[in-house]
Amino acid sequence: MLKKYGFAIVMFLICLVALVRTFMAEPDPLAFSPVVSYIVIGLLALAMIAVLILTIKGIFVERRWVFLFVGVALVLPYFMSITLKTKVSPEVQGLFNGVNALPPGSKVLVAFDYDPPSAPELQPMADAFMAFAFKRDLKLIIIGLWPQGPQQANLSITRAMAEPEVAAKNLRYGTDYVNLGFQSGNEFVIQSMGTSFRSMFPRDIYNTPYDEIPLLRGVENFSNVDFVVNWSSGYPGTKEWVQIAVDRFRVKVGAGNTAVQAPEMYPYLNAGQLTGLAGGMTGAAEFEMATNEYGRATVALLSQLFSHAVVIAFIIIGNVALFLGKEKKTR
């Protein structure tokens, strides 16, 4: 194995040491000035044009070059000082409107149904929502149908509490928010919650019995919560919340999904079964914009833009290669 991957491991370690040394020497975030940023963009564009010219000449680039371009396009924007603003789509506006319409004191069930791999897309949405909800004095009941969900919720709570406006409210666990933890059983958990929350979550993550939590007094089932927000990256997730909580128990559900999962939710969105939907990094950036809680998604949007541009350029180059190949064959 060492023979096979030895060179790659050594190269990786050298890069890692170089990066660590750079960041140790420069503890402040590295950032290019806008001029340097535009020069870098220009160089990247020139490199893509060079690939196009090579393709026209009949020299096709290997897969490794595609990887290199995507890698550069994803990493460089993090060092650029260009800020991008996007238009809030009707889907995200629907989610925002659903939350924004809730009066202070409303009880919102927040289901964290994802794990760290999907966190780059979903955590910014959850962070923005958590800060926004706390500022609007919404009462949050947190659960997870994925084992890692409650831990991801804790991250969002910690980040929201670090904001001065939220910290000043002196919010208390058990009165303003509660984390009921993970429960196994997938959609059957949602189904049982339709009858009794207590049966599925008899204790919170601190082992406090359900009946001793002030926020949960009078909360028996879905009829006692005003809105459900679901951050989801697969099964069980938004589809199950719609099919059971919305269709059977008439609950209002808004969701945030990964870019891969979001397209599957459009039929539910267009049928009015979902109040709103934030999809992927773009959806997260739009939600941050709608809630005025700017965070990591807005920063990552530039990275997303670059990677999309590179993929689009390679699709064009791929088609040029296809047509040139056809032409050669007909000759």
Partner 1 sequence: MKREVPIIITLVVGIVFILSYFIPHAPFGELETFYNEWFSIVASFAIWLGALNLMKLSFIRISRKQHDWQLSWVIVICFLVIVAVGFYDGYAGLSNNPQTSFRDPGTNFDWLYTYIYTPLSSTMFAILAFFVASASYRAFRARNTAATLLLLAGFLVMLGRVPLGDILTSYLPEGWRASDWASWIMNFPHTAGQRAIKIGVALGIVSTSLRIILGIERSHLEG
- In the complex, the residues that contact partner 1 under the rule CB under 8 A are 1, 63, 66-67, 69-71, 74, 84-87, 89-90, 115-120, 147-148, 150-151, 154-155, 158, 183-186, 188-189, 191-192, 195-196, 199-200, 205-208, 248, 263-264, 266-267, 270, 280, 282, 301, 304-305, 307-312, 314-315, 317-319, 322
Q: What whole-number distance in Å separates Cα of residue 15 and Cα of residue 169?
A: 45
Nearest approach, Cβ of 115 to partner 1 (angstroms)?
7
Contacts of 29 (CB under 8 A, 6+ apart): none
Nearer to partner 1, 99 or 301 (CB): 301
85 and 119 Cβ atoms separated by less than 8 Å: no
Nearer to partner 1, 207 or 330 (CB): 207
Nearest approach, Cβ of 275 to partner 1 (angstroms)?
16
Nearest approach, Cβ of 104 to partner 1 (angstroms)?
27
Nearer to partner 1, 33 or 195 (CB): 195
Nearest approach, Cβ of 102 to partner 1 (angstroms)?
26
Nearest approach, Cβ of 243 to partner 1 (angstroms)?
10
Q: What whole-number distance in Å separates Cα of residue 67 and Cα of residue 321?
A: 18
Beta bridge partners of 240: none
Nearest approach, Cβ of 331 to partner 1 (angstroms)?
19
Q: What are the phi and psi torsion angles at 142 (to 5°)?
A: -100, 135
Nearer to partner 1, 69 or 102 (CB): 69
Nearer to partner 1, 165 or 264 (CB): 264
Tokens of 311: 């993929």
Nearer to partner 1, 80 or 205 (CB): 205
Give the count of beta carbons closer than 10 Å to the beta carbon of residue 143: 27
Q: 11-29 burial, b if ≥16 CB within 10 A, otherwise e?
A: eeeeeeeeeeeeeeeeeee
Q: What whole-number distance in Å separates Cα of residue 294 and Cα of residue 282?
A: 13
Nearer to partner 1, 102 or 281 (CB): 281
Tokens of 170: 């002196």
Q: What whole-number distance in Å separates Cα of residue 156 and Cα of residue 109?
A: 15
Q: Which helix (H) or strand (E) holds 76?
A: none
Ramachandran region of residue 150, left (φ > 0), alpha (ψ -120 to 50) or beta?
A: alpha
Nearest approach, Cβ of 57 to partner 1 (angstroms)?
18
CB-side exposure of 30: number of CA atoms within 13 Å?
Answer: 15
